[in-house]
Amino acid sequence: MAMHRHFEDELDTLRTLLIRMGSLVDEQIELAAKALMTSNTELSKLVIERERRVNEFDLMIEGQCQRIFALSQPVAIDLRLIMAAMRMNSDLERIGDIAVNLAERVEPLTEHYNLLERVNAPLMIETARQMLSDAFDAFINNDSNLARSVFGKDDIVDDIARDAFYKLIEEMKRDPLLIEPGAHGMATLRHVERLADHATNIAEDVIFIVEAKMLKHQSLQTGTQGSPN
């Protein structure tokens, strides 16, 4: 009984670490987006400085997973949680990197922040942020239906990105002075696309935990429509 209680405590610690990292990474994205839309270089510097904390959580979660595997013999749903936690940890760490990448675009775009507005980047960023929030709420609440709702938003992000790239190219053709900021704008869009991809990965992991269903690359395996990745 004591051994089982210890195992449950280790799992609770893992869940807590994931939730704390998810909250931190979500805040990093929020700050980076705000810095971009307001040309706030001080805020962008804060995001970059806090990356160290994200990396610390990455190491703690990885260590906790290794500890549970080493000291226990997890089965069924517990094993799914640990496997998904390792993947989610990787996605969260990369989302933390994306926040830094977005923050690094603030200074080059300071004089051209309205360029992002003209190509509808704020909506794209907000949609991707909502995907991340929904995916993690789904994890906290074991809600596979909420996790599935994330997939449709990924299509919205892709559609906005496609249109935004076209508009940026037109802006750059129209005014050669916009070529450099336009290139930074394109990089920003790529970062947001990757954010949406990682949020989708987390949603897939939630479904794996709750329903024991693997959705990754499902369309390749079955020929049916799977969630985007």
Give pLDDT, residue 68: 85
Handedness of CA 162, 167, 172, 174 (dihedral sign): positive
Within 8 A by CB and 6+ apart from 130, the residues are 153
Tally the residues of the chain.
229
* pLDDT over 70 percentage in the chain: 89
Rounded Cα distance, 222 and 184, in Å? 39
Would the pLDDT of 216 be above 90?
no
For residues 210, 154, 128, 111, the Cα torsion angle rounded to the nearest 10 degrees is 160
* pLDDT over 90 percentage in the chain: 76
pLDDT in tens, 94-152: 999 999 999 999 999 998 878 999 999 999 999 999 999 999 999 999 999 999 999 99
Four-way CATH pick for 2-222: 2.60.40.420, 3.40.50.2300, 1.10.260.40, 1.20.58.220:
1.20.58.220
Give pLDDT, residue 14: 94
**The whole model's pTM is what?**
0.89
Give pLDDT, residue 76: 63
Domain ranges for the chain: 2-222
pLDDT in tens, 44-65: 999 999 999 999 999 999 999 9
Would the pLDDT of 228 be above 90?
no
Q: Which two tokens stand for residue 225?
A: 């429509």
pLDDT in tens, 145-154: 999 999 999 9
Would the pLDDT of 224 be above 50?
no
Rounded Cα distance, 73 and 59, in Å? 22
How confident is the model over 69-81, as a mean pLDDT?
75
How confident is the model over 13-40, as a mean pLDDT?
95
Contact 100, 45 (CB under 8 A): no
pLDDT in tens, 147-179: 999 999 999 999 999 999 999 999 999 999 999
